[in-house]
Structure 1
Amino acid sequence: MNTRLFHTRRRATLRRSIQLLLDVRKEQSDPDYFYSRLAKDTCELVTALHRDTHGCGLSGTRVLDVGGGPGYFAAEFAAQGADYIGLEPDVGEMSAAGITVANSVRGDGMALPFRNNSFDVVYSSNVAEHIPHPWVMGEEMLRVCKPGGLVILSYTVWLGPFGGHETGFWAHYLGGNFARDNYTKKHGHKPKNVFGISLFDVSCSSGIRWASQTNTKVVTLFPRYHPKWAWWFVSMPVFREFFVSNLVIVLQKATPNEGR
């Protein structure tokens, strides 16, 4: 595992962590502000990882964003010179905020509608916890990634403070069904993310286990929103389930002569 990652670690500051946490408060009230800032941070993260592993930015690369949402990310990646494709299963998300993205595709992350070895970078953020078979999606991401390319899979850990999403910071610790029903009782309607339908219990350890079984290079595993001095949380069983709010898995697909 590459532990240097100079550019990636340099941006993982406490100031960034605090700002991202503050931004969450505006997700519902000002989605343009929230998602544009998240898109910028996401693009910077992917660029830094590519620079650390390939020695260059994203210019000239083909990037697939699995679950790219309404399209806030397209402009950020285009500004870096990447050929960006966003895949989204929900047509409502694709048209959110009146944004039209020509290079977006409607499709299923667990059955990607692309040929093998099509993209230099395949990225997914906060999708794995919303589908019943997240590691099937992970295998699909590896399939469409070119040899030598990067697969970056980031997801919210269930037992972390944000695992319950909009149902709150504590209710999901009493179970997903309880959190769903408690939210419904309080607000008079079901949450956007309904446990067992569009929100699932995905652990930190399951992602680490999947990554270790892919027979490809594990570049790094780290908590996305934590400062670099807290990255060691990932290495601590049990502890990581509660204190790694979002796990980032970075894989580099083997080239033909390396085997997979």
Structure 2
Amino acid sequence: MLIAETASDNGTARFARRATLRRSLRLLGSFRFEQSDPALFYGEIASDSAAMIADFYADLTGATLADTTVLDVGGGPGYFADEFAKTGARYIPVEPDPSEMHAAGLSTVGTVRGSGMALPFRDDAVDICFSSNVAEHVRDPWLMAEEMVRVTKPGGLIVLSYTLWFGPFGGHETGPWHYLGGEFAARRYRRTHGHEPKNRFGESLFAVRARDGLRWATTTSAQVRTVFPRYHPRWAWWLVRVPLLRELLVSNLVVVATKAVS
């Protein structure tokens, strides 16, 4: 119901052409460096994110990102800034945790400290609101999603991408033990490594499922154009249609929407 029969129907034609098996293998291969070389991992994700947003926006408007305002909810330490700057967009990251802002030693001009669940921006402020791998780290991700809709201009683009709990990366550094429960995985990590995981279940990591995003897609005032598995090639997007398989195999769900024009 949310995935059009053809990519052109839902405004993802350009991105669908790039959603190849080669791209999938490249992105998934970068995951092994998340802890050992975060600059490499996040740099790869940032580059792909900027290209993905540019594709969606071009399909929506026929224009590039030049002179648009892109709000990145949960922008982290700044890896995405350079990639969006290359597109000509005005990039504004929002991050609630000061230590996360400075974790990579990068400096991003215009970074705003604030919560995704109460974005410090007026209504209809930005052309594009984007969030990558943040929803699983907040207590009320669907309040955050509605905040993203609120601050986006009518006709503007909203892209929410998040990691599914029952996917292989759902437990982050505590996986795959998260399949036995988030608290069990956190305790095991502490015993094994002598310290708490960065992503502590129940505090900074929560069990968010595909069904949650699909439910939000049916209740939000925004026009949801498509949902798809971020790291899969186009020919595997059908997995989102199958209830049990999507929780286990989709890994990261992307919801693409536009704000209704009143």
TM-score (ref. length: structure 2): 0.95
Q: Which amino acid aligns with 1:184?
A: R
Q: Which residue of 2 aligns with 1:78?
A: 85
Deviation string for 1:81-117 (max 9, x for gaps)? 1011000111112112221111110100000000000
1:181 maps onto 2:197 in alignment: no
Q: Which amino acid aligns with 1:98?
A: G
Q: Which amino acid aligns with 1:189?
A: H
Please tell me whether the aligned partners of residues 149 and 222 of structure 2 are also in contact (alpha carbons under 8 angstroms).
no
After TM superposition, which residue ranges in structure 1, 4 or more long, deviate above 6 angstroms? none
1:129 maps onto 2:136 in alignment: yes
1:145 maps onto 2:152 in alignment: yes
Q: Which amino acid aligns with 2:104?
A: A
Q: Which residue of 2 aligns with 1:194?
A: 200
1:25 maps onto 2:57 in alignment: no
Q: Which residue of 2 aligns with 1:240?
A: 246
Deviation string for 1:22-61 (max 9, x for gaps)? 1111122222222222111110111111111221221111
Q: Which amino acid aligns with 2:143?
A: V
Q: Which residue of 1 aligns with 2:170?
A: 163
Structure 1: unaligned runs, 5 residues or longer: none
CA distance, structure 1, for counterparts of residue 44 and residue 165 of structure 2: 24
Q: Which amino acid aligns with 2:194?
A: G
CA distance, structure 2, for counterparts of residue 198 and residue 84 of structure 1: 25
CA distance, structure 2, for counterparts of residue 136 and residue 117 of structure 1: 17
Q: Which amino acid aligns with 1:235?
A: R
Higher mean alpha-carbon deviation, 60-69 vs 178-187, is at 178-187
Counterpart of 1:97 in 2: which secondary structure? Answer: coil
Q: Which residue of 1 aligns with 2:216?
A: 210
Q: Which residue of 1 aligns with 2:21?
A: 14
Please tell me whether the aligned partners of residues 226 and 255 of structure 2 are also in contact (alpha carbons under 8 angstroms).
yes
Higher mean alpha-carbon deviation, 228-237 vs 49-58, is at 49-58
Structure 2: unaligned runs, 5 residues or longer: none
Q: C-alpha displacement at 1:119, in angstroms?
A: 0.5
CA distance, structure 1, for counterparts of residue 37 and residue 244 of structure 2: 35
Please tell me whether the aligned partners of residues 171 and 182 of structure 2 are also in contact (alpha carbons under 8 angstroms).
yes
Q: Which amino acid aligns with 2:128?
A: V
CA distance, structure 2, for counterparts of residue 238 and residue 30 of structure 1: 33
Q: C-alpha displacement at 1:196, in angstroms?
A: 0.5
Counterpart of 1:41 in 2: which secondary structure? Answer: helix
Identical residues among aligned pairs (%): 57
Q: For the aligned residues, what is the CA RMSD?
A: 1.1
Which residue of 27, 39, 42 maps to 1:35?
42
Q: C-alpha displacement at 1:6, in angstroms?
A: 1.6
Q: C-alpha displacement at 1:216, in angstroms?
A: 2.4
CA distance, structure 1, for counterparts of residue 105 and residue 205 of structure 2: 26
Q: C-alpha displacement at 1:178, in angstroms?
A: 1.0
